[in-house]
Amino acid sequence: MKLSANFTTEEATRSTYAVKHGIDNSMTGKVLMDATWFAKTVLQLLRDHIGLAFLLTSWYRCPALNKAIGGVINSAHLSGTAIDFLLQGKTASETWDIIVVALKDLHISFDQCILEHNTKTGAWWVHLSSKRTGNRNQSFKLVV
């Protein structure tokens, strides 16, 4: 099902960890509504402005999946309003720079835009989250 022109529920719920461990990571009700809102009012506007595909590594996480992977208990991923991603053909640092500028250019209210690095795996990604109200508009770099 399409959440917006370029984003679907399939990619929002995709998790190799969930499949491997038999965790149902499907969205329903309020989570589906929130993920649709996020896709339409934040992600699609950014995608249209930037013109590059978003390569998602994590979007929605059901409570069981979030707990299993060690996510924080108040993660925005639980509500479908956060993604971890890179832009097609860009490094994590380039992605973060592009997204921060685009958020400002488009006057999009967001909660957090974080350049994250996992020192154990060496992986880099950008985390972007937004809420309907109460956004902090925080952008920073974090090593985890």
CATH number, residue 119:
3.30.1380.10
Alpha-carbon Rg of the chain, whole angstroms?
14
Count up the domains in the chain and report the number: 1
- Residues 135 and 111 sit within 8 Å (Cβ to Cβ): yes
Average pLDDT over the chain reads: 96
The answer to whether residue 144 scores a pLDDT higher than 70 is no
Query: Considering the domain boundaries, does residue 2 fall inside one?
Result: no
What are the residue ranges of helices labelled H in 69-134?
92-105
Length of the chain, in residues = 144
Structural domain boundaries, residue 28: 9-143
Query: Considering the domain boundaries, does residue 116 fall inside one?
Result: yes
Query: Considering the domain boundaries, does residue 3 fall inside one?
Result: no
Query: Considering the domain boundaries, does residue 108 fall inside one?
Result: yes
Query: Considering the domain boundaries, does residue 78 fall inside one?
Result: yes
**Predicted TM-score of the model (pTM):** 0.95
The answer to whether residue 104 scores a pLDDT higher than 80 is yes
pLDDT-derived band at 62 (thresholds 50, 70, 90) equals: very high
* Token output for 134: 């109460």
What mean pLDDT is predicted for residues 29-49? 98
**Alpha carbon of residue 99 to chain centroid:** 12
Query: Considering the domain boundaries, does residue 1 fall inside one?
Result: no
Q: What is the pLDDT of residue 83?
A: 98
Strand partners, 125: 116
